[in-house]
Structure 1
């Protein structure tokens, strides 16, 4: 066994999690040929195949599944001991974080500032996505930690609440002066799978309002600009629309809904990387709004 090192087992675990040699190479900041070479070294040393090709990906053999099951807690424990011994000051690696636009405009900057102050050797790769897409990427292993608009409930996730935001119905002063929802308006919202869109539809239905159309944009700040220009109305997070309201560019056009949007930080329930778990614990101390 002297030919095998920790990086061999780390490679094995990431291929098992992500499903392809290419994805594991990206996660470990190396090349696909290097990953293939490590797998060959493990299989040669053990005298058995650990993966079989299936389509464009790979799946573990029975022996490979057993090896992953046995090694994963050992590797996680070893990494945790080293990180705790150094107070995490020497931590390195890339952690991929997903966040919605509302989280990115509220709690994410303070979280990132704390992480970079305490973990200077860690690279943070932040992607802005809608909740549905973030969940797909988290389960696929291409994201490690996410800030979700929810609520989300899934036994495959470890979740912590981050608080919520109040929502307000806004339009330009000209639209309100012309009668607001007294005539059919264009309503702007995020995509249909977003929690904001679902609250918006429920609010319209409860007030028995008519509208010309529901148009979509993937960016809240752009929706704010569109509505401020006099094109319809939108249900918006008060925290993000506060400046436009203070400047008089947007005013309330309807009573706000009683429900807001709650946020959560999430990792996979089986996440064993001590660095990801440390960042998850740090995320729990930050609040939306």
Structure 2
């Protein structure tokens, strides 16, 4: 009978974390049949069933939960000792990172650069998405570390604040000129991210009566676009106005391509780095530590 090895324990922990053999196989860069074979070897060696199938998910049995509870701190300590001995320079593996566009345009490039420089064995898999879906992916084990608009108060998530981003309500110079000269025919389109985004709420606040009183701004409708960069390009093309992150349009404002139509919103977007509360992987904890020291807008 084949004796248990370190990779057996690693396999067990990742199935427990991610819920399916397929997800564990992707995480460990192997095949689903190989994962199944490892589980059979563990169960044959121990003489107990560790998982039971519930639909598409593999759920731990009571014996399996006990084993994971005992093994997880041992595994984390083992990895931590190895990483500490090499000052993490020998760390290797794939880490899945989620980020919103604003964070991607702000602190993410520097974070990626530093990881590639200091941890050459680590590969980052970056996916851009909206905050609501990133939270789901993090809790579901599809992401390991995310940069999102906050504050996020979700059970099971540990966060660290990385700063705020100011907002501007602006339009193209052409649209602003038409409004000033009275040439705009009726109301103008206003663009925003989907309702699940904090930016959408700020847009609605800006369009409230107290914010637009004394101006000629009337919103024809609030159209939505799930891509901040595309939204900015639509406004630059003279197709309406929008609340936009000042960090992403700073140069357009400076050169006069965009003009602020209303006073800047008093509400800023807060940003956070986040991991699962139960995360024990030393590499992910190290990347979270590094992420916690970032600033979304160093300027």
TM-score (norm 1): 0.96
2:274 aligned with 1:271: no
The one-character-per-residue Cα deviations of 1:43-76 (angstroms, maximum 9, x if unpaired) are 0001011111111121111111111111111101
Shift of residue 245 of structure 1?
Answer: 1.6
2:254 aligned with 1:251: no
Paired residue total:
289
Which residue, out of 211, 220, 238, partners 1:212?
220
Name the structure 2 match of 1:98: 98
Distance, in Å, in 1 between the alignment partners of 2:10 and 2:201 is 41
Shift of residue 2 of structure 1?
Answer: 7.3
TM-score (norm 2): 0.93
Mean alpha-carbon deviation: is it higher for 129-138 or for 170-179? 170-179
Distance, in Å, in 2 between the alignment partners of 1:159 and 1:122 is 22
Shift of residue 210 of structure 1?
Answer: 4.0
Shift of residue 213 of structure 1?
Answer: 1.1
Distance, in Å, in 1 between the alignment partners of 2:147 and 2:38 is 34
Which residue, out of 174, 180, 193, partners 2:196?
193
Distance, in Å, in 1 between the alignment partners of 2:253 and 2:42 is 61
| Unpaired segments ≥5 residues, structure 1 | none
| Unpaired segments ≥5 residues, structure 2 | none
SS at match of 2:206: helix
Distance, in Å, in 2 between the alignment partners of 1:195 and 1:69 is 38
2:290 aligned with 1:287: no
- Which portions of structure 1, spanning 4 or more consecutive aligned residues, are displaced by more than 4 angstroms? 180-183
Shift of residue 247 of structure 1?
Answer: 2.6
Distance, in Å, in 2 between the alignment partners of 1:211 and 1:6 is 61
Residues 211 and 262 in structure 2, CA contact (< 8 A), matched pair in contact too: no
Distance, in Å, in 2 between the alignment partners of 1:17 and 1:226 is 42
SS at match of 1:134: helix
Mean alpha-carbon deviation: is it higher for 185-194 or for 271-280? 185-194
- Root-mean-square deviation (CA), in Å? 1.6
Shift of residue 28 of structure 1?
Answer: 0.6
Shift of residue 254 of structure 1?
Answer: 1.1
Shift of residue 110 of structure 1?
Answer: 0.6
SS at match of 2:271: strand
Name the structure 1 match of 2:74: 74
SS at match of 1:178: helix
Name the structure 2 match of 1:107: 107
